[in-house]
Amino acid sequence: MNIWGRVKQNNSTVDDAVITISEKTAHNVKDWGEPMAELCRLLNLSRPVILKKHIREFEEFSLAVFRPADFLEPVSFDRFEVELY
């Protein structure tokens, strides 16, 4: 499965990256920390706090949206979208 991360500001993508993981579906991922850490490293972001709501969004919609409040450090963007495909 591929994971596409997009950093968005004012509805425009300002940066993006794609990683590949061995799991085939979101339901098979036991720990989202590793793939999110790799994706955020590529985008030079701190890792967001992953809540149950984000995991549910991955499993139901293959898309989770992280807002600035989901990060422990200040960020300079409106949203961070992570899409599974």
Query: What is the structure's pLDDT at 28?
Result: 87
Consecutive H or E run containing 38: helix 33-42
Strand partners, 20: 2
Q: Which domain holds residue 57?
A: 2-84
Provide the whole-model pTM: 0.91
| Structural contact between residues 37 and 82, judged by C-beta atoms closer than 8 angstroms | no
> Which residue's entry shows tokens 């799991």?
23
> Which residue's entry shows tokens 């085939």?
24
- Model confidence band, residue 56 (pLDDT cutoffs 50, 70, 90): very high
How many domains does one find in the chain? 1
Strand partners, 4: 18, 83
Q: How many CA atoms lie within 13 Å of 16's alpha carbon, on the beta-carbon side?
A: 13
What is the average pLDDT across 50-59?
95
Which has the closest alpha carbon to 34: 16, 52, 19? 19
- Model confidence band, residue 44 (pLDDT cutoffs 50, 70, 90): very high
Q: 25 pLDDT exceeds 90?
A: no
What is the average pLDDT across 27-38?
91
